[in-house]
Amino acid sequence: MHTNQRTTGPAENRHRRPSTMRPAGLRPRAAGFTLVEILVVIAIIGLLIALLLPAVQAAREAARKIHCQNNLKQIGLALHQHESVWKRFPAAIEDKVTAAFPNVSARNYRWSALAMLTPYLEQSNLYDRLNLDVPLYCPPFFPPSFIHPDNVESVALDASTFRCPSDFGRRVYQEFGPTNYCASYGSGAKGGPYVRTDGVFFVDSKITAGQVSDGLAFTVFFSESLIGTGGPDSTLAAAQAGGQEKEVLVRLFAVPLTEPACSNPSAPVTNLRGAAWADGLAWSSGYNHWRVPNSPVPDCCSFLGVWKAARSRHPGGINVLVGDGSVRFLGDNIEVEVWRNLGARNDRNGIPGW
C-alpha cells in the first residue's frame, strides 16, 4: 500500500526552520542583569572609587601646597621691596609712640611685619584702608575690643595672601582676620625671647640684608603655623583630650620657659595662635625654631619668651620662606640642630646638605 506521506531527505532538513517550541515548564530568560551581575558591577565601581579618591585628594593637596608656596613667595618679594625702600626689613612688632597719641604707650602701636608689608603686597584694598600712623589699640588696652576706630574694618579683613588653603580656614576673632604665616624670631635659644634675638625679626628689629651674616640663602625668614581654635582658655589636658594640642599655646606666667612647665597637663592654654595678621605679638604672627616642624610637644609662651613651632596641615612637613626669596618644603624629620641653625641669622654654623 502506498501512502501520501512525504519523506524528507537530508538536504531538505537543512532548510527547515527550527522549532520554536520549548519544553514544558521552561520560562524564557528575561532581558537585563542578574542580581549577581549587579553586585559585581557595584563592587568594581566601589573599588575604582576607592582607588581614585586618594589620587583626587592628593591632587587637591598638591594644588593647595602650591598656593601656599605662592603666598610665601609674595611675602618674600614684599620683604625685599621693603628692605630696598627702608634699608631694613620690618620689625616683627614695633614699640613706638605716635605723634597723634603721645600718651598711648609704645607697646600698643603693635603692628605686625605683615601689616608693614601691605604696601608691597597684592593687597591694595587692604593697604588703602589701613592707618599705620596710629596705634593698633587705644585705651584701655584690652585687645581685641579697643582697636583704633580708623582700623576696625581693615584689620577684620580676611586676606587670602595670609592664609594657607590647607588649614581649616576658621576665624579666631571676629574683630581680626587670621594668618598662617609667621615671622621668624630665630633659633629660640635662651628661652625664646622676643627682643634682641638671633633671628631677622623681633621687637623693634631693624635688621638689614647685610646683617644676615649666615647668608640670605641659609636663613629662614617666614614659615607656616596653624590657626588656633578660638574660644575661652582651657588646660593642656583638655586640649590633648580633644586632639588639639598642636593648635594651642601653653600660657605660663613664670619665666623663663622650661620643658616641665610647658608640658604640665594642668597648665592653662590660649587658643589664639594666628588670630590676627595685624597684631605683631608672637602668639599671633611670630614663631621660632626651638621645636622642629609639627613637633608633638605643645607650644609654649610667657611674658618674656615663646617656643612656638612652625606647623602646617601639609602631609610630612611645612613650607618656609628663605631670605633669598626662595620657598622650600622641609620635612618634619629635619634634624633639630639644622633647623635651629636655619632660624639664626648669624650663628656661623654650617648647614650640611642645604
Q: Does the pLDDT of residue 7 top 70, yes or no?
A: no
Determine the pLDDT at residue 1.
47
Higher pLDDT, 347 or 255: 347
256: its cell numbers: 623663663
Q: Are strands 286-287 and 234-235 parallel, antiparallel or unpaired?
A: unpaired
Whole-number mean pLDDT of the chain?
87
- For the segment 309-325, what is each residue's pLDDT rounded down to a tens digit? 999 999 999 999 999 99
Q: Does the pLDDT of residue 187 top 80, yes or no?
A: yes
177: its cell numbers: 582676620
- For the segment 142-155, what is each residue's pLDDT rounded down to a tens digit? 555 689 988 999 99
Higher pLDDT, 152 or 15: 152
Determine the pLDDT at residue 28.
60
Q: Does the pLDDT of residue 302 top 80, yes or no?
A: yes
Q: Which residue ranges make up each domain of the chain?
A: 151-343
Chain-centroid distance of CA 294 in Å reads 11
- For the segment 190-206, what is each residue's pLDDT rounded down to a tens digit? 999 999 999 999 999 99
User: Which pLDDT band, with edges at 50, 70 and 90, does 30 fall under?
Assistant: low
Determine the pLDDT at residue 266.
93
Determine the pLDDT at residue 353.
62
- For the segment 80-93, what is each residue's pLDDT rounded down to a tens digit? 999 999 999 999 99
Q: Does the pLDDT of residue 53 top 50, yes or no?
A: yes
